[in-house]
Amino acid sequence: MKPIVSKDSIVYFGQECYTALNSYLEKSNHSKIFILVDSNTHEYCLSLLMSKIETEYDTEVIEIEPGEIHKNIETCSGIWNALAELQADRKSLIINLGGGVITDLGGFIACTYKRGINYINIPTSLLAMVDASVGGKTGVDLGNLKNMVGVISESEMVLIDTEYLSTLPVNQMCSGFAEMLKHGLIQDIGYWEKLSDLSQLELDDLNQMIHESVMIKNKIVIEDPTEQNIRKYLNFGHTLGHAIESFYLTHPEKPTLLHGEAIAVGMIMESYISKELLSLTNNDLQDIGDVILATFPKLDIDPSDRQDIMNLLIHDKKNENGNILFVLLNAIGEAKYNCTVSNDLIVKSFEYYDSL
Q: How far is the CB of 220 from ligand GLY (least distance, A)?
A: 8
Please check whether residue 18 is in contact with residue 52, taking contact to mean a CB–CB distance below 8 angstroms. yes
Please count the other Cβ atoms lying within 10 Å of the Cβ belonging to residue 15.
12
Strand ranges, E, within 84-164: 93-98, 118-123, 140-142, 145-149, 157-160
Asked if 131 touches ligand GLY (CB under 6 A), the answer is yes
52/318 with CB nearer ligand GLY: 318
Kindly tell me which residue out of 71, 183, 231, 336 binds ligand GLY, with binding defined by CB under 6 A: 231
Please check whether residue 96 is in contact with residue 38, taking contact to mean a CB–CB distance below 8 angstroms. no
Q: How far is the CB of 289 from ligand GLY (least distance, A)?
A: 23
How far, rounded to the nearest angstrom, does the alpha carbon of residue 261 sit from its chain's CA centroid?
12
Kindly tell me which residue out of 42, 71, 137, 211 binds ligand GLY, with binding defined by CB under 6 A: 137
Asked if 184 touches ligand GLY (CB under 6 A), the answer is no
Residue of this chain nearest to ligand GLY (CB atom): 234
Single-letter code of the amino acid located at 67: G
Element (H, E) at 339: strand 334-340
221: nearest Cα among 232, 208, 205, 210: 232
214/346 with CB nearer ligand GLY: 214
Burial classification of residue 304, based on how many CB atoms lie within 10 Å of its CB (0-12 exposed, 13-18 middle, 19 or more buried):
exposed
Mask for 78-117, x = binds ligand GLY (CB under 6 A): ----------------------------------------
Element (H, E) at 345: helix 343-355
137: nearest Cα among 119, 124, 155, 125: 155
Choose one: 106-114, 129-137, 204-212, 257-265; the region binding ligand GLY (CB under 6 A): 129-137
Whole-angstrom distance, CA of residue 266 vs CA of residue 82: 38
Q: Name residues whose C-beta falls within 8 Å of residue 352's C-beta, 6 or more positions apart in sequence.
A: 268, 269, 272
Mask for 233-272, x = binds ligand GLY (CB under 6 A): -x--------------------------------------
Q: How far is the CB of 4 from ligand GLY (least distance, A)?
A: 15
Choose one: 2-10, 131-139, 186-194, 348-356; the region binding ligand GLY (CB under 6 A): 131-139
231/275 with CB nearer ligand GLY: 231
State the number of binding residues for ligand GLY (CB under 6 A).
5
Please check whether residue 35 is in contact with residue 9, taking contact to mean a CB–CB distance below 8 angstroms. no
Kindly tell me which residue out of 98, 106, 123, 135 binds ligand GLY, with binding defined by CB under 6 A: 135
How far, rounded to the nearest angstrom, does the alpha carbon of residue 212 sit from its chain's CA centroid?
15
Choose one: 46-54, 130-138, 204-212, 299-307; the region binding ligand GLY (CB under 6 A): 130-138
Asked if 68 touches ligand GLY (CB under 6 A), the answer is no
In the complex, which residues of this chain contact ligand GLY (CB under 6 A)? 131, 135, 137, 231, 234
